[in-house]
Structure 1
Amino acid sequence: MSNAAAKIPGDDPGTDPEEDPEIRIGRQIRHLRLVKGLRLRDMAEATGLSESLLSKIENDKSTPSLGGLHRIAKALDTNVSHFFAAAERSPGVVARAGDRVVIRTGAESSEDLSPDSEPHLMQSMIVSVDPGGESQGTRQHQGEETGYLLSGELELVIDGQSYHLRAGDSFMFRSDLPHAYRNPGNETVRVVWTNTPASL
């Protein structure tokens, strides 16, 4: 896989936007919506996002937050990992630094640690959240999640109980419990975050 798939628009004037997963998200969303026969109005009702915002997202004129992307994926009967899978990758065991697929969504980015796009029983990401960034609402789904903070501070709320984590701390919880997070610190938080089954 070329490094271009892991770069962010504007980082390199030579980057082909057709190879950037952040650029492709809107087209993927629109394609899935049309395949399922859903109108923008249907998506707005299912996600709580406005039709105008959804239209901008589909036309790559706006980038959804990770929370918004979760809601869109759920409305389309898929998960966020579907959008990572669209980036072409060669099968293998090792994913080299700089060659991994990264999706930026507002104040967050998720870097897929898998070397390929094949379905797996679990999914590991490096999730980065800028200061003040948050999950924008709670989430619930089947499975389990575990994580390890590489840097920064993270407020993790599980089933209404808040936990303040710092670099070096780790966590694990059942995903069917309502959960949310935010970065209350002054630096970007980076978390190795693993879900099983893949749901991010």
Structure 2
Amino acid sequence: MSEFDVGGRLRAIREDKGLSQRELAQRSGVTNGLVSLIERNKTSPSITSLRKILEILEMTLAEFFDSDTPSEPGKFVFRHSELTEINPGRIYRSGGAALDALSLKRAGKSGQTNLLLLYETYEPGADTGAEAYAHEGEEGGFVIEGELLLTVGETTELLRAGDAYLFDSRLPHRFRNVAKARCVVVSAATPPTF
């Protein structure tokens, strides 16, 4: 995959919305320095930080990482090579080991469906971030391979291949691979706020 310019994309969207870095930082609850570092591609944001920023810009992570190429009308099959990577650590390689070890690939284009369908790969040590995150909707998935530690609210459970989860995604949640082997999950969320 060619390197995605996270900083350039964020700067262009922020400027298009008529916001200064300082205003975006204040409204999203992150530091001005973080916004500046992201825009200069000096750091890769955590998923939680980027979600906070994008919420102010009225954009989902999937919309942020979608290419500008529209889907073909009537298309219903998406080959693995056509899936959109929406993880900042994978696209801009400086997110730290835990974030780099996570791959989230979306089927379809943002804004063209009411369902977010993801093929998720958690290498050993992968983590969605030190902070749990929450968003509107519901999400669920099946562990296809390996083990996944899932925290929802105050409860943490270890899921193994064949196990499934389904929860109200307004509850803070976090996914981690604490095993020594890769974990693969197929998940869905509605509405596609992620």
Task: Give me the TM-score of the superposition, normalised by structure 2.
Answer: 0.80
Q: Does 1:37 align with 2:18?
A: yes
Q: 1:68 to 1:167 in 2, by over 3 A?
A: farther
Aligned 8 A contact 1:85 1:118 in 2: no
Q: CA 1:51–1:189 in structure 2 vs 1: closer, same or farther (change >3 Å)?
A: farther
Instruction: Indicate how the Cα distance of structure 1 residues 8 and 42 shifts in structure 2: closer, same or farther if over 3 A, else same.
Output: same
How far apart in 2 are the matches of 1:48 and 1:151?
A: 36
- The residue aligned with 2:139 is 145
Partner of 1:75: 56
- 2:47 is equivalent to residue 66 of structure 1: yes
**Gapped regions of structure 1 (runs ≥ 5):** 1-6, 10-21
Q: Distance in 2 between matches of 1:166 and 1:156?
A: 11
Question: Do residues 170 (structure 1) and 170 (structure 2) align?
Answer: no
Displacement of 1:45: 3.3
Change (3 A) 1:127 1:64: farther
Other-structure match for 2:117? 124
SS at match of 1:199: coil
The answer to whether the Cα contact below 8 Å between 1:134 and 1:181 also exists between their aligned partners in 2 is: yes
Distance 2:149 2:103 in 1: 17
Is 2:85 aligned against 1:99?
A: no
* Structure 1 counterpart of 2:71: 90
- TM-superposed CA distance for 1:192, in Å, is 1.3
The aligned length equals 180
SS in 2 for 1:142: coil
What TM-score do the two structures reach when normalised by structure 1? 0.78
CA gap 1:85/1:164 in 2 versus in 1, 3 angstroms: same
Are 2:191 and 1:197 equivalent residues in the alignment?
Answer: yes
Deviation at 1:34, TM superposition (A): 1.9
Contact preservation (8 Å) 1:132, 1:182: yes
SS at match of 2:167: strand
Deviation at 1:139, TM superposition (A): 1.8
Q: Deviations over 1:85-125 (max 9, x none)?
A: 334143211111222222342222211122x4442111111
Percent identical pairs in the alignment equals 31
Give 2:184's aligned amino acid.
R
What do you get for the CA RMSD once the two structures are aligned? 2.2
Aligned equivalent of 2:107, options 113, 128, 141:
113
Residues 104/152 of structure 1: CA separation in 2 closer, same or farther (3 Å cut):
same
Check whether the contact 2:140–2:167 (CA below 8 A) recurs between aligned residues: yes
Q: How does 1:10-25 map to 2 (within 5 A)?
A: 22-23=4-5, 25=6
Q: Which residue in 1 is equivalent to 2:95?
A: none
